Amino acid sequence: MSKKEEKNTKLEETKTNTKTDEKKTKTKVESTKTKEKSKKNISKKKTTKKKETKPKKHFFKEVKSELKKVRWPLKKEMVTYSIATIVFIIILGLFFVATDLIIAGIRMVFI
**pLDDT tens, position by position, 21-51:** 666 666 666 766 666 666 656 655 555 555 5
When divided into structural domains, the chain yields a total of 2
Give pLDDT, residue 11. Answer: 62
Residues with pLDDT less than 50, the chain: none
64: containing domain: 1-70
Say if residue 62 is in the same domain as residue 91: no
Q: How far is CA 74 from the centre of its chain?
A: 36
CA 31, CA 38: separation in Å to the nearest integer? 11
Residues 24 and 52 in one domain: yes
Torsion on CA atoms 26, 28, 30, 35, rounded to nearest 10: -170
pLDDT at residue 51 in the model: 57
pLDDT at 106: 93
Does residue 80 share a domain with residue 56? no
**High-pLDDT (> 70) share of the chain, %:** 50
- Check: CB of residue 66 under 8 Å from CB of residue 74: no
Same domain, yes or no, for 65 and 77? no
What confidence score (pLDDT) does residue 103 get? 95
Question: How far apart are the C-alpha atoms of 3 and 95, rounded to whole Å?
Answer: 91
CB 89 within 8 A of CB 81: no
* Residue 93 and residue 46 share a domain: no
